[in-house]
Structure 1
């Protein structure tokens, strides 16, 4: 087995699962996994059908985007993923999708407040909107890096899609699904035109403190 085979397989498995659940469609979105102990990551190739993707199609890049392995062109958002790994040491997996309900809030620039305990515990205090910038540009990377300072694990890209982070592939996949649950239920609640309740502030802060405690463990692990 090659040096990066495990990371390549993780990316491939994530993509197949995301397609099966309807979060990745066509060639939209991108997925990456941090390579532990190196300034490198595994990421999906550009403009490639996820349903037929294999580990051999996955690209391995350094944070400066030097290619270590892979014959295909890396995702157009590779620089964005690299910036996330450099700025969020708690993050070991990044999933960018065009999932429908979360993306809808990107059209109205409407953040999703803390509606559920598990949302605050795993996604953060709220799901914020990242201002629009064209895909694959330094402008988008800049806008994302600014938002990363709130230590949340889910964001909505204006007129684009969703961005979820996590400490490992399984948790990041969970975060994608949790974000869509929050988006669907919040949208339905808005449609009733009734007052929408949120979890009380003290409980939100306790749940978020638990998230930060977990994140710091991974931050420390990735610093060494």
Structure 2
């Protein structure tokens, strides 16, 4: 079983990586499911350097909770890590006023068929085929594990930038062909089912190499 110190070190490294790329700002939160401990490890991006005591541990349960992180983990067995942040382009999708459609095959493969918009004080957890959404002025991004989440956060910001620029230019935004969406989404669903099974068994999910 991985020690808490090791988990904390991994989260601090993830915060550093995201912050360096402008994907995490002071006050944004990152959490990780630790299935072997039945706990959630969470860290908030501070103004100063992150220290081990900045990691907060809470029980992983299946009850309802107003906390969006715990709500997602309880409802989505496939999710192994969550970023709740204020990425520049991701937030701007909400200002466009409509969900971001499937623009790229890699987007569908890892983020799902669309990036929906949500409002209100309580989060309505999206279905399994959705790994990102814009909630009011925040962006929620999910991953089956911490490393997958980091890649998904980077992918989301790139896709959001392309979508916002295309939308504001007045040109027609086209989705990838239906058969590409079908194949890519099936592969995502396969990986999510495997991750949910591993999490239920007290194990971490394993990131798949390649497409």
TM-score (norm 1): 0.81
Runs of 4+ aligned structure 1 residues displaced above 4 Å come to none
**1: distance between equivalents of 2:185 and 2:143?**
14
Q: CA deviation at 1:39?
A: 2.5
- Structure 2 residue aligned with 1:172: 149
Secondary structure of the 1:52 match is coil
- Structure 1 residue aligned with 2:56: 59
Q: CA deviation at 1:173?
A: 0.8
Aligned match of 1:151 in 129, 136, 141?
Answer: 129
Describe the superposition over 1:7-60 as per-residue Cα deviations: whole angstroms up to 9, x where unpaired: 2112111111111111122x2210001112232110015xx6154112232111
Mapped contact 1:44–1:59 kept (Cα < 8 A): yes
**2: distance between equivalents of 1:57 and 1:124?**
32
**1: distance between equivalents of 2:35 and 2:2?**
15
Structure 2 spans left out of the alignment, 5+ residues: 202-211
Mapped contact 1:112–1:126 kept (Cα < 8 A): yes
Correspondence list, 1:182-197, <5 A? 182-197=159-174
Q: CA deviation at 1:78?
A: 8.3
Structure 1 spans left out of the alignment, 5+ residues: 65-76, 134-138
**2: distance between equivalents of 1:51 and 1:178?**
27
Number of paired residues?
198
